[in-house]
Chains A and B, each alone.
Chain A
Amino acid sequence: MISLRNVWIVAERDLRTFLQYKFLLIMRAIWFLAQIALFGLIVNRMLKPEVELEIGTSYFNFYAAGIIITLLYSTTVFIGYDIYEEADHGVIEYLLSLPVSRKELVLGRSIGGGLRSFIYVSPMLLFVLYLIGVSNPLQFMVAFVSLFLFAFGVAGFSITLAVSIKSSDKFDILLGIVDALIVRLSTTLYPLVYMPAYYRVVARFNPLTFAADLFRWGAGIESAVLTSPAIAILGIVLFFSTFTFLGIVLHEKRLEGGGWQ
């Protein structure tokens, strides 16, 4: 039986831990501003007029919505680094000694990991919504809830990788490569129709594609080139379920016994 109180205590601890990343959060915020105010505005002028027609809005709006998802993803994966920090300082043994089950621990971490990045991204998300506007509040609420699931799924994904690999060096490189590919092979930066067929195959099933297109739909950007909301929601639910489940199973099996490098 999972105690929601225990899950919340674990999540709350992760929310507090997040503040230690002050400098990374500052860097990310500056990165966001530079992306929007410089890159987004200039590239908006660089593209063919048909791009705007196809995506149903200006490229700037399309890009700003995508950047929020990139930011949400990149701040949520920090949770994996927290696990290595804890292994390094022997905190894992302390966590295992607490009257909290392994399931509650990993569930709390997934929720805490997702929630803290959501709180961090919120002001920037509101800024982007102010730029784009919200035409249908109900649509937006559906997208918003799905983005929560997306963030929890990313946290589960990062935890799964961290506890499977147990080597901070390998985790760092794998996450670097995944980060390089998962963002670029998604619709966060550009629509699916402009990708060569060999990239499109991967991008179509990328959780960042689901999240970015769903967020755009929630903000009222509707276009045939975006992933349909039903498919995007289904994709996010599958992503969340898979990685929360994997995270719980692997966390239970591999957290004990040391072997962290």
Chain B
Amino acid sequence: MKAILYVLERDFRYFFRYRWWIVGMLSMSLADLFIMAVVYTGMVKQEITEQYVSYFLFFAPGITITALFAAAFMIGREINMEIRREISHYMLSLPVKRWELAFGRVLAGGLRGMAYMTPLLLTTLLVTFVWAGNVPSPLQMLIIVLALFLISVGTSGLSITLALSTTSFEKYVTARGVVYYVLFFCSTVFYPLNLIQDVMPQAFVIIARYNPLSCGADLARFFLLGHPTFEPVMFLDLAVFALFFALLAMFAYMKIVQK
């Protein structure tokens, strides 16, 4: 356990080295919410977002999820760099078991996402309280945080798996770009699912429906705004996503660092 804590501590120290990036990203997320979503609120058809009170409130949980996703994804970039520069050899020389190292890295990625997302989640809670008068119960809050944690760990695992799949930085960045933007824009973060069904081909609708970002955003919306309907499959989706990518990343990490 102590070894895992050391790994976590190291990754958190690295994360806060990017404090300028963090501030920049936070300001971008807040600008998306308080400028972009405010303007779109006046432009969006009322029938599309009336169940959520307004587009602004519809978007608020979404921005929390995108911020969480972006921060949890950062660990992959670091691991790709470590492999290319062979820092992983140094890591192997540490008195830490391979599985502890791998588990610590995946967990660190997830926890960093949670830490970064916290101010945005608080902002979301505040705006839903002010404009919709809703305050989630402690149990509901626990479910939201747990769901966010699952997304964060799954995203961390996904980004590590992606980072380990190639030693070429260009290929990694390209793959990351595709995954990143498909998951971002093919989700219910920016628009409800029925709209995606109207516009996009079936393949994109399936991605959007089972996309963990969609499940996380809709789950948070249900507990904060009462819509869309909560389905247990959302939680199952997140659990499978987190478990699958966390295990895959751990397995790949343990294999790759030994090469």
Contact = CB atoms under 8 A, between A and B. Distances in A.
Interface string A25-59: 01100110111001101111111100100000000
Interface residues of A, number: 39
Contact of B39 (A172, A175, A180, A195): A195
Given A23-B169, A46-B44, A176 B31 contact: no
Contacts of B173: 23-24, 26-27
Interface string A181-219: 100110001100011100100000000000000000000
A51 B48 CA distance: 15
A43 B45 CA distance: 10
A23 B39 contact: no
Contacts of A30: 174, 177-178, 181
B185 interface: yes
A224 interface: no
B45 A48 contact: yes
Nearest to A41: B199
Given A190-B39, A199-B35, A199-B39, A43 B28 contact: no
Nearest to A185: B35
B20 A172 contact: yes
A190 B170 contact: no
B50 interface: no
18 contacts: A22-B170, A23-B173, A27-B174, A31-B181, A33-B181, A38-B186, A38-B204, A39-B185, A41-B199, A42-B199, A46-B48, A46-B195, A47-B45, A48-B46, A173-B23, A184-B32, A196-B42, A199-B39
Interface in B23-80: 23-25, 27-28, 30-32, 35-36, 38-40, 42-46, 48
Contacts of B186: 38
A42 B200 contact: yes
Contacts of B27: 176-177, 180-181
B43 A26 contact: no
Contacts of B44: 46-48
A39 to B, nearest CB: 5
Given A173-B20, A184-B36, A45 B195 contact: yes
A1 B170 CA distance: 43
For chain B, what secondary structure do more than half of its interface residues adopt (helix, strand, loop), or is it mixed?
helix
A179 interface: yes
A111 B176 CA distance: 32
Nearest to B196: A42
B157 to A, nearest CB: 22
Interface in B166-189: 169-170, 173-174, 176-178, 181-182, 184-186
A191 B32 CA distance: 16
B31 A180 contact: yes
Nearest to A172: B20
A172 B177 contact: no
Contact of B182 (A22, A34, A172): A34
A43 B31 contact: no
B191 interface: yes
B39 A194 contact: yes
A175 B20 CA distance: 10
B103 interface: no
Contacts of B24: 172-173, 175-177, 179-180
Interface centre among B23, B25, B30, B181 (most CB of A within 10 A): B181
B176 to A, nearest CB: 8
A169 B20 CA distance: 6
A184 B35 contact: yes
A184 to B, nearest CB: 4
